[in-house]
Structure 1
Amino acid sequence: MEFKHHHGGFPSHQPGGHVHFPQEQVVQHDSEIVICPEGDRTLGVHLGFLQHRHHYEVAFTIQDDLGEDVDIEPSLHARILEVMPSETEYPGHTVAVDLAAHKEKLMQEKITLRSRNDKNKAITLVLHARVLGRGKGTPALRNGIKCTGIDADEESEASDWMGFD
């Protein structure tokens, strides 16, 4: 049996134990929202890096069997703006979410979409993000994510604190 060594799209091992991925694969992975199964009827939506106290509009498409009309179970920091049947060859929905990056480090917000025609059919979306604190840099946002606002910082001059008279 003979194996041929192939580098196209696969990582290569370098001396010192480091793994290097082809540049086009790194750029594509870093610039797209990644959606992957995380269990029975649960999808992980990996958003990459966001900034603390910023608000984002996040748009992505999922494959599902919920039918055209869905109900939404609310979430505290992730508010659904719109859910529409997707215009792809596969059944599913395009989802738009207003997300508040309310805490630093790892953030997870759950949203459940439930079929209006069959209440037993539901999909839980778990939004994952790494949230950078103040002074930790400005992340490059992935495709489908745009910043829509920034909460005023209590310690900045932009706050409405007038001080003591």
Structure 2
Amino acid sequence: METISETNANSHCKEHVHFSAEQLKDHNLEIHVKQQEGHIDVHLGFLQIHHHYSVSFSIKDSLGQEVSFDERENLHVQIQKATASDDGEGHDIVLNFNAHREKLMNEVIHIQSKDQEKRVKMLIHARVLGKGKGTPALKNGIKCYKVDTDEDSDTHSDWQGF
């Protein structure tokens, strides 16, 4: 990694970080899914506060073709769709994720077999960047579909000043 300084006409310094091609090659933009029996950890990486994301990923499970889930189980994560994968060894999951607060978010959701005999717990992990902390590179399968207005900003204030 190398840092390059530029000076503009106003004599303000701006620093840019440049990564070598080899460092970029090692950077993985895939959603990390770690599986154990009955428990799945899904790591979404960095997201931005007050943003809503559609997240698509695949899991391996033994729940059978048809599964069920409670759409109201979690206020900030809702499974939209869980369809059997083409290889028959798991499911393709589509969920909505609301990055409602800064720092590390860990949200729990469950899916179960249609007969409710088998159940899988999914723990969704995301690091949420606050306002002014940068714009994250989204991993493959993650798309922002909505941005909430920041209620704390000056544009939403009715204060006229002095």
- Secondary structure at the residue paired with 2:53? strand
Structure 2, unaligned stretches of length 5 or more?
A: 1-21
Is 2:34 the partner of 1:36? yes
Correspondence for 1:147: 144
8 Å Cα contact 2:49/2:131 also seen in 1: yes
Relative distance call for 1:120 and 1:25 in structure 2 (3 A) is farther
8 Å Cα contact 1:107/1:128 also seen in 2: yes
Q: Please, which moves more after superposition, 150-159 or 101-110?
A: 150-159
Once the 2 structures are TM-superposed, how far is the Cα of residue 163 of structure 1 from its aligned partner?
5.8
Is 2:48 the partner of 1:68? no
What amino acid sits opposite 2:110 in the alignment?
A: T
Residues 47-102 of structure 1 deviation map (CA, whole Å, 9 limit, x = unaligned):
00000110000000001110111111321100111111111x35111000010001
- Secondary structure at the residue paired with 2:110? strand
TM alignment of 1:17-28, pairs within 5 A? 23=23, 26-27=26-27
Is 2:133 the partner of 1:136? yes
Count of aligned positions? 137
Residues 124-159 of structure 1 deviation map (CA, whole Å, 9 limit, x = unaligned):
111100000000000000000000111111123554
Question: Which of 100, 111, 114 is residue 113 of structure 1 equivalent to?
Answer: 111
Question: Which of 121, 126, 143 is residue 123 of structure 2 equivalent to?
Answer: 126
8 Å Cα contact 2:81/2:94 also seen in 1: yes
8 Å Cα contact 1:152/1:158 also seen in 2: no
Is 2:39 the partner of 1:78? no
What amino acid sits opposite 1:107 in the alignment?
A: M
Give me the CA root mean square deviation: 1.9
Greater per-residue strand proportion: 2
Which stretches of structure 1, 4 residues or longer, exceed 6 Å deviation after superposition?
A: none
Correspondence for 1:6: none
Q: Distance in 1 between matches of 2:109 and 2:103?
A: 20
Structure 1, unaligned stretches of length 5 or more?
A: 1-21
Once the 2 structures are TM-superposed, how far is the Cα of residue 26 of structure 1 from its aligned partner?
2.1
Residues 21-63 of structure 1 deviation map (CA, whole Å, 9 limit, x = unaligned):
x647622x2x0000003x5411000000000110000000001
Correspondence for 1:59: 56
TM-score (norm 2): 0.77
Relative distance call for 1:70 and 1:137 in structure 2 (3 A) is same
What amino acid sits opposite 1:121 in the alignment?
A: K
Q: Distance in 2 between matches of 1:63 and 1:138?
A: 31
Q: Percent identity?
A: 42
Question: Which of 95, 104, 108 is residue 102 of structure 2 equivalent to?
Answer: 104
What amino acid sits opposite 1:98 in the alignment?
A: N
TM-score (norm 1): 0.76
